[in-house]
Amino acid sequence: MKKIFLFFIFVFAAVSINAQQDKAELLQDLENDHALNPVNEIQTDISEDQDVMMIAKLKSAARLFGDKYDLTSVIMVLPADTELEILDSDSTYLHVIIEDYKGYIYAKHAIISEAARPVSPEPEVVEEQAVVPEPEPEPVQETVQPVQEREVSRFTYLENKYGSNMAARLMAGKIWKGMEAEMILDSWGNPGKINRVISGNVIKEEWIFRNTWLYLENDILTEWGPIR
């Protein structure tokens, strides 16, 4: 039993010694990096100008660490010529951001340069103007001519054209044989339908009104009758 207990103590001691050696080697590596890259040799002056940002361009592939004190916290391996925005820096590491990832890279792996920070366009301020409604058009007053005035005007027109007696007969809607086609139009208006037959120099027409047909030869009324 004692042998087993002593065996476990020996194994635990051996593991502890190996861990201390690994940690000592890691610290030694960090000291070597500080010795190879003193503060005076690395120019990492981060501009405070809000319109300028510092860009780190990788000279070779490099690891992006989540914690600069933990070299096992590798987020990703970045290829050469990758450009990253610098947030902060010290003599050994650059605190950078790429896309949505923030982390640390060795300063010796990058070339630092300045770049203009993209400016977001300011929203255009549009002054609101009061909308003045257009005045509604005034209603057009239709001139309604009284029936009596229209009759007087029509009689005056017929009187001036045919004389008083003929104008009175046309106003009454009378027709007679020998009546000219123009008089019919002035008295009854246009027919609903006209049937026309031309025979040599004779033009025969049948004018169809609502209840009456009229028969004309060469624009002279010769006969009429009711429509059945």
pLDDT, tens digit, 9 for 90 and up, residues 3-19: 666 666 665 665 555 55
pLDDT per residue as tens digits for the range 124-142: 655 555 555 666 666 655 5
Distance of alpha carbon 179 from alpha carbon 2, whole angstroms: 154
Residue type, 38: P
The alpha carbon of residue 12 and the mean position of all alpha carbons in its chain are separated, in whole angstroms, by 73
For residue 180, what is the DSSP state? Answer: B
Give the Cα separation of 11 and 75 in Å (integer): 34
- Residue 221 and residue 228 in contact, taking contact as beta carbons nearer than 8 Å: no
Beta bridge partners, 56, equal: 84, 112
Q: Which of 170, 215, 172 is nearest to 191 (CA)?
A: 215
> For the chain, which domains are there?
42-116 (2.30.30.40), 147-226 (3.30.1450)
Cut 0.75: pTM above it: no
Q: Say if residue 24's pLDDT is above 70.
A: no
pLDDT tens-place string over residues 153-186? 889 999 999 999 999 999 999 999 999 999 999 9
94: alpha, beta or left? (left if phi > 0; alpha if psi -120 to 50): beta
Q: What is the largest CA-CA distance in the chain?
A: 158
Nearest to 104 by CA among 136, 76, 145, 132: 76
